[in-house]
């Protein structure tokens, strides 16, 4: 039985390990786009701030992957899936057959149509590589602009603040709540970051970025102009599912799956930040972003790919938990 | 033609061969995808030559509303453009170029019209009616168009907001039709079948092109409460400045053009929060991606897989809308998820779930039906194409022509004027009104290409209407053409098959001893002409293909 797993993040690697633990003889191939061994994404800001080193951020080191007999293909990505022939096509046109396929490609922050033309002026802040590049730039940076909701912004804001940078935070809403509507911190965060010395511009949007000498000048919808050395911006964080483009797989924002994490195509499963599942509690399709969920779904998907019928239990807590443990980040609570 | 100065015609012939007709469908994908078969590469080449007037004239032959369609066409041509194929970049901005031809080259149509003494009445001055009027007027008919509203244009004037299509643009395109001698009588409403009967006697033929002006209604509870609107009624009232309502939180239901226009109009009328809800997913929406992007950029929120089930009210006033979530299957059918109902707060709810025709008159004797009135609500270009088709039927009915046939003008040229470097020009973005000025209600959002931009963009076109052929009887297999080919466009074949449909199919080979022919793959060819210049025996020819529809004698 050949198990192919697209994505070497938390969900993908957990599924691979689960499969190998239960069935030693199974053939498991994990295809990961990044050139690193699986790492803990939620620790990236701590790595940026220097409070942990590169080794601590690795989740599954190369030796243990080798020991388990998992084939990890780094730096490769799947560009198309053919559910009829049960094959995936890699970027270099290699065609790989599978018996069971798991899509665990995760999510990715993205830019809407307004900011997309300015992408080259925006510092990406998502992968280990982004952070390594950013680390090199840090000494030359004094002023930063951050635009975007969600917990990853909070994480970044605190990180930049701790590094002694001057930060301007631009948000669409009246108050900075980082989408934590249902959490115990709701309402306090705005004052908290303001007290830290972050300038907050509310009810406004970034609409253009211009490079002036070595700085960037941004304009907002309300025609404010702010200058900075670096710009961080995103409009959304959403599943990164370009690989299913040519299939008829049911999807909304993410791939729709049932409780056993099966997609609408036979023998294809999906887990982690790239799936959407109907949640009767909130009466909505739901992407349970985050590290703990990815581990849980990865394990269930792995078992079910081996023929078990374990069900994923949708959780009661509906806090948007983008970065897993980041709520316990040591610098502010 | 002046525009083709680069590729001056040496010799022109006319073909009626099915293979040549088929060549156009296969090799000029943009024209083939256009419901009205516009000569797209023809007018783009004229823009390349800087001759906007010719570009306008070429376009105006097929597409009688160039200013309008240069703005609001749903662009079936662009997704099939060869420049947009995998690894080749983005499709040519065909629609923007069409607009620039009208912006810079609009001129009165010079036509030698010989009146034939017959009269045609067209009901409805929308895209179908106007196109039919144009075609019949050019053939010598005396055409009268009756329009129920105060201004001609139908949906173009009253359904589409000015920030997408300004009134003067519609008026200019209409003028180019009335200049041909067409009379448009406005404020004339033909509501009863009896009136149609009367017109039938007064005119030699009557075309009903009344469009789809009746909103499809939904009978869910609360529809009569204050704050609920039908999409088209909302748009028409807003366009006539007759909508004076305060709205803060707006929900728009639907997945088509009207729904999108309603969301953007609501923002301009002062709404703080606008939500668009559609029962299927984004991919299933019947709108082009650039419109979705404009809507997203302006700040409209989307929700998908939602069906409305009722309006929430308080003392007759709308306070929200109740939805149920859907699951969707591979065949795009939706099933509501039991127990998933929830309420979205809204003080204004707009239903834009489609329109239908007002009557179900059928075609008899000298009565013809055209456009949305016959086919149900569709796009502007589809309505125009149908107007043309029906005008052809009317002409056939009244003049006794035997039908129509396609002929292909094939003219030999020396060079195309294209360079390999042109492939690396990126698609030129449309200039737009800045976001902070978008709330000015009637200000046009897309402001049009400058001449510099349109000239740059036109150079990106592969000019697919050029057919490159190698005369095998003269080829000496020297490979000079293969040495200079910029992409994998020249192939060696060991055999040529003729398929049942009359297509030629080359069986490729890489083995020298098997080569029986060398052929140019027009699907890969970028029309740069390197091969022609390199060929020592002059066995590669370039010919330009142009389609024309003529009457069968």
Q: Does residue B9 surpass a pLDDT of 70? A: no
Q: Does residue B499 surpass a pLDDT of 90? A: no
Coil, strand, or helix at residue B346?
Answer: coil
- Selecting from B330, B342, B429 the residue whose C-beta is nearest the C-beta of A248 gives B330
CATH 3.50.50.60 in chain B: give the residue spans: 119-213+357-404, 216-353
Q: Measuring CA to CA, which residue among B75, B71, B45 is closest to residue B455?
A: B45
Q: Does residue B3 surpass a pLDDT of 70? A: no
CB burial readout B161-195, b (16+ within 10 A) else e: bbbbbbeebbebbbebbbebbbebeeeeebeeeee
Q: Does residue A182 surpass a pLDDT of 70? A: no
- Can you give the pLDDT at residue A181? 60
Q: Does residue A328 surpass a pLDDT of 50? A: no
Q: Does residue B58 surpass a pLDDT of 60? A: yes
Q: Does residue B234 surpass a pLDDT of 60? A: yes
Q: Measuring CA to CA, which residue among B395, B394, B392, B402 is closest to residue B367?
A: B394
Compute how many other C-beta atoms are within 10 angstroms of the C-beta atom of residue B66: 29
Q: Does residue B53 surpass a pLDDT of 60? A: yes
- Can you give the pLDDT at residue B381? 94
Tokens of B3: 């525009």
The full set of domains in chain A, from first to last, is 2-106+240-317 (3.50.50.60), 110-236 (3.50.50.60)
CA distance A62 to chain B (A): 34
Interface residue B285 vs chain A (CB under 8 A) = no
Sign of the CA dihedral running B473, B478, B481, B482: positive
CB contact (8 A) between residue A205 and residue B341? no
Lowest mean pLDDT among A324-328, B38-42, B332-336, B461-465: A324-328
**Contact assessment for residue A128 and residue A36, using Cβ atoms and an 8 Å cutoff:** yes
CATH tag for B2-109+406-458 (out of 1.10.760, 2.40.50, 1.10.1060, 1.10.3470): 1.10.1060
Coil, strand, or helix at residue B398?
Answer: helix
CATH tag for B467-547 (out of 3.40.50.620, 3.30.2130.10, 3.30.70.20, 3.40.50.720): 3.30.70.20
Interface residue B304 vs chain A (CB under 8 A) = yes
The CATH code of domain B119-213+357-404 reads 3.50.50.60
Kindly identify which residue of chain B lies nearest to residue A117, measuring between CA atoms. B429
- Residue-wise pLDDT tens digits, A82-96: 999 999 999 888 999
Q: Does residue B246 surpass a pLDDT of 90? A: no
CB contact (8 A) between residue B435 and residue A113? no
CA distance B505 to B489: 15
What average pLDDT does this structure show over B484-488?
88
CB contact (8 A) between residue B339 and residue A114? no
| pLDDT band of B511, cuts 50, 70, 90 | confident
CB contact (8 A) between residue B340 and residue A114? no
Kindly identify which residue of chain A lies nearest to residue B439, measuring between CA atoms. A221
CA distance A235 to chain B (A): 11
| pLDDT band of B37, cuts 50, 70, 90 | very high
B216-353 CATH fold: FAD/NAD(P)-binding domain (3.50.50)
Q: Does residue A323 surpass a pLDDT of 60? A: no
A·B CB contacts under 8 A: 48
Q: Does residue B6 surpass a pLDDT of 50? A: no
Say what percent of chain B tops pLDDT 90: 62
- Residue-wise pLDDT tens digits, B440-470: 889 999 999 999 999 999 999 999 999 998 9
For residue B327, which residues of chain A lie inside 8 Å, CB to CB? 250, 256, 278
- Residue-wise pLDDT tens digits, B142-167: 999 999 999 999 999 999 999 999 99
Query: 3-class secondary structure for chain A?
Result: CEEEEECCCHHHHHHHHHHHHHCCCCEEEEEECCCCCCECHHHHHHHHHCCCCHHHHECCCHHHHHHHCCEEEECCCEEEEECCCCEEEECCCCEEECCEEEECCCEEEECCCCCHHHHHHCCCCCCHHHHHHHHHHHHHCCEEEEECCCHHHHHHHHHHHHCCCEEEEECCCCCCCCCCCCCCCCCCHHHHHHHCCCEEECCCCEEEEEEECCEEEEEECCCCEEEECEEEECCEEEECCHHHCCCCCCECCCEECCCCCECCCCCEEECHHHEEEEECCCCEEECCCCHHHHHHHHHHHHHHHCCCCCCCCCCCCCCCCCCHHHHHCCCCC
Beta-sheet pairing, A2-6 with A27-32: parallel
What average pLDDT does this structure show over B234-252?
90
Interface residue B391 vs chain A (CB under 8 A) = no
- Residue-wise pLDDT tens digits, A14-58: 999 999 999 999 999 999 999 999 998 888 988 998 888 888 999
Q: Measuring CA to CA, which residue among B519, B537, B528, B523 is closest to residue B482?
A: B519
Q: Does residue B362 surpass a pLDDT of 70? A: no
Kindly identify which residue of chain B lies nearest to residue A282, measuring between CA atoms. B340
Kindly identify which residue of chain A lies nearest to residue B331, measuring between CA atoms. A248
CATH 3.30.70.20 in chain B: give the residue spans: 467-547
For the ranges A33-47, B232-246, B385-399, the maximum mean pLDDT occurs at B385-399
For residue B294, which residues of chain A lie inside 8 Å, CB to CB? 113
CATH 1.10.1060 in chain B: give the residue spans: 2-109+406-458
Coil, strand, or helix at residue B144?
Answer: strand
Report, in angstroms and rounded to the nearest whole number, the Rg of chain B calculated over CA atoms: 26
For the ranges A68-72, B367-371, B432-436, the maximum mean pLDDT occurs at A68-72
- Residue-wise pLDDT tens digits, B100-145: 999 999 998 888 899 999 999 999 999 999 999 999 999 999 999 9
Q: Does residue B358 surpass a pLDDT of 50? A: yes
| pLDDT band of A320, cuts 50, 70, 90 | very low
- Can you give the pLDDT at residue A327? 41
In the predicted model, what is the mean pLDDT of chain B? 90
CA distance A13 to A6: 10
- Can you give the pLDDT at residue B540? 93
- Can you give the pLDDT at residue A18? 96
**E strands in B294-337:** 301-304, 306-314, 317-328, 334-336
What average pLDDT does this structure show over A55-72?
92
What average pLDDT does this structure show over A233-237?
87
- Residue-wise pLDDT tens digits, A208-230: 999 999 899 999 999 999 999 99
CA distance B55 to B53: 5
């Amino acid at each position: 039985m050949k198990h192919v797993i697209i994505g070497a993040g938390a969900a993908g690697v957990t599924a691979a390990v689960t499969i190998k633990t239960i069935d030693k003889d199974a053939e498991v191939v994990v295809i990961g786009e990044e050139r690193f061994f699986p790492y803990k994404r939620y620790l990236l800001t701590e790595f940026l701030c220097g409070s942990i080193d590169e080794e601590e951020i690795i989740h599954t080191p190369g030796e243990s992957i080798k020991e388990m007999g998992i084939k990890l293909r780094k730096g490769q990505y799947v560009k198309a899936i053919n559910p009829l022939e049960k094959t995936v096509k890699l970027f270099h046109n290699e065609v790989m057959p599978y018996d069971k396929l798991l899509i665990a490609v995760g999510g990715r922050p993205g830019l809407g149509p307004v900011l997309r033309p300015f992408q080259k002026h925006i510092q990406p802040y998502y992968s280990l590589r982004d952070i390594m590049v950013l680390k090199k730039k840090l000494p030359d940076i004094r002023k930063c602009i951050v635009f975007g909701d969600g917990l990853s912004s909070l994480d970044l804001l605190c990180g930049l603040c701790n590094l002694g940078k001057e930060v301007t935070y631009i948000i669409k809403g009246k108050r900075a709540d980082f989408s934590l509507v249902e959490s115990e911190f709701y309402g306090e965060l705005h004052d908290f970051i303001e007290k830290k010395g972050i300038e907050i511009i509310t009810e406004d949007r970034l609409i253009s970025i211009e490079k002036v000498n070595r700085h960037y000048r941004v304009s907002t919808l309300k025609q404010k102009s702010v200058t900075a050395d670096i710009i961080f911006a995103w409009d959304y964080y959403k599943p990164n599912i370009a690989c299913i483009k040519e299939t008829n797989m049911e999807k909304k924002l993410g791939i729709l799956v049932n409780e056993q994490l099966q997609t609408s195509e036979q023998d294809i499963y999906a887990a982690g930040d790239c799936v959407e599942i109907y949640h009767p509690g909130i009466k909505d399709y739901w992407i349970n972003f985050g590290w703990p969920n990815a581990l849980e779904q990865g394990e269930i998907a792995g078992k079910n790919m081996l023929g078990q019928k374990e069900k994923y239990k949708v959780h009661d807590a509906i806090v948007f938990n983008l970065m897993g443990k980041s709520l316990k980040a040591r610098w502010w609570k | 033609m002046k525009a083709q100065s680069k590729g001056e015609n040496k010799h022109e012939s006319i073909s009626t061969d099915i293979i040549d007709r088929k060549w156009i469908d296969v090799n000029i994908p943009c024209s083939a995808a256009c419901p009205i078969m516009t000569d797209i590469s023809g007018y783009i080449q004229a823009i390349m030559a800087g001759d906007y007037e010719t570009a306008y004239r070429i376009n105006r032959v097929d597409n009688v509303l160039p200013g309008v369609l240069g703005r609001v066409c749903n662009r079936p041509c662009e997704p099939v453009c060869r420049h947009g194929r995998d690894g080749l970049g983005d499709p040519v901005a065909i629609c923007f170029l069409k607009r620039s031809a009208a912006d810079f080259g609009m001129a009165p149509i010079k036509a030698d019209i010989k009146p034939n003494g017959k009269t045609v009445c067209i009901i409805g001055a929308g895209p179908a009616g106007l196109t039919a009027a144009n075609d019949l007027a050019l053939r010598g008919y005396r055409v009268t168009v009756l329009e129920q509203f105060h201004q001609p244009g139908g949906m173009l004037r009253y359904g589409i907001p000015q920030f997408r299509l300004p009134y003067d643009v519609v008026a200019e395109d209409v003028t180019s039709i009335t200049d041909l001698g067409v009379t448009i009588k406005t404020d004339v409403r033909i509501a009863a079948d009896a009136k149609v009967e009367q017109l039938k006697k007064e005119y030699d033929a009557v075309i009903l092109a009344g469009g789809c002006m009746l909103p499809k209604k939904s009978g869910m509870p609360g529809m009569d409460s204050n704050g609920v609107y039908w999409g088209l009624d909302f748009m028409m009232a807003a366009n006539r400045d007759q909508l004076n309502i305060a709205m803060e939180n707006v929900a728009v239901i639907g997945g088509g053009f009207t729904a999108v226009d309603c969301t953007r109009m609501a923002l301009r009328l002062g709404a703080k929060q606008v939500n668009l809800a559609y029962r299927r997913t984004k991919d299933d929406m019947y709108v082009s991606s650039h419109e979705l992007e404009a809507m997203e950029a302006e700040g409209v929120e989307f929700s998908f897989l939602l069906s409305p089930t009722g309006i929430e009210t308080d003392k007759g006033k709308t306070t929200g809308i109740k939805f149920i979530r859907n699951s969707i299957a591979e065949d795009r059918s939706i099933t509501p998820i039991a127990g998933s109902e929830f309420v979205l707060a809204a003080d204004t709810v707009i239903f834009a779930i489609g329109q239908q025709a007002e009557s179900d008159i059928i075609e008899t004797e000298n009565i013809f039906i055209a456009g949305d009135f016959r086919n149900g609500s569709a796009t502007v270009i589809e309505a125009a194409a149908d107007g043309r088709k029906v005008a052809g039927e009317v002409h056939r009915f009244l003049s006794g022509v035997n039908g129509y046939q396609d002929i292909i003008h094939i003219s030999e040229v020396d060079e195309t004027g294209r360079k390999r470097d042109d492939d690396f020009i990126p698609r030129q973005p449309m200039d737009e009104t800045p976001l902070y000025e978008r709330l000015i209600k009637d200000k046009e959002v897309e402001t049009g290409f400058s001449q510099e931009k349109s000239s740059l963009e036109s150079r990106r076109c592969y000019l697919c209407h050029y057919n490159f052929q190698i005369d095998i009887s003269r080829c000496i297999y020297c490979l000079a053409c293969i040495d200079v080919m910029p992409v994998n466009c020249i192939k060696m074949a060991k055999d040529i098959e003729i398929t049942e449909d009359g297509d030629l199919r080359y069986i490729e080979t890489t083995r020298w001893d098997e080569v029986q022919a060398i052929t140019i793959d027009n699907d890969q060819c970028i029309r740069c002409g390197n091969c022609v210049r390199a060929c020592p025996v002059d066995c590669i020819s370039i010919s330009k293909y142009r389609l024309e529809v003529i009457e069968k004698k």
